[in-house]
Amino acid sequence: MIRLIGIFAALLFALPALAQPLPANLDKQNALVIDTTKGRIVIALRADIAPKHAERLKQLAREGFYNNVPFHRVMGGFMAQTGDGQNFNGTGGSKYPNLKQEFSNVPFTRGVVGMARRGDSVDSANSQFFIMFADGPSLNGQYTVIGNVVSGMDVVDKLKKASPTSPGGAVTDPDKMVKVQVASDVK
């Protein structure tokens, strides 16, 4: 019952975001619309540089995998990570195999979206991704760039951050992606 009340409350917070128009000139076939507990984020996917990763995110969004998934790792001044629709805590992936890296020369700057992976294994990206709060040059050439925020960076900035002493940037009672859709599917 408490979970239902929580989902209902999250949907109420997301209602104003649902009425927002999408950015002009958006390639709706290659964009994600993420309605969160803080508002709407729109990500333009970079299918030109990471086609397999872009296809995976769209596939998972269409399956509802990302709905009600928390931003489990949010480090102020660095990044916000989400996408664990299996365990909801950053330890899970999807039912699909891991993806080989698709590194590019696109730098990790504010608003860039990258694929998370496990430790040293560059070919272990699966479902999780992160959004940069600030430039992160140490990530360049180390992680696959999958897109960039084209609307809603103010929403990203509002996400609940981990305390500075929280191990690995884990967030207590995190904000969530209430609903994630491919932009062309938004009604």
pTM (2 decimals)? 0.89
Interval 5-54: pLDDT, tens: 444 444 444 444 455 788 889 999 999 999 999 999 999 999 999 999 99
| Helical (H) or strand (E) element with 149 | strand 145-151
- E runs forming strands in 1-144: 31-36, 40-45, 69-70, 73-75, 79-82, 112-115, 129-132
| Helical (H) or strand (E) element with 90 | none
Interval 90-109: pLDDT, tens: 999 999 999 999 999 999 99
| Helical (H) or strand (E) element with 155 | helix 153-158
Would you list the domain boundaries of the chain?
Answer: 2-185
Tokens 């932009």 map to which residue?
183
What is the Cα–Cα distance from 161 to 166, expressed in whole angstroms? 10
* CATH architecture type of domain 2-185: Beta Barrel (2.40)
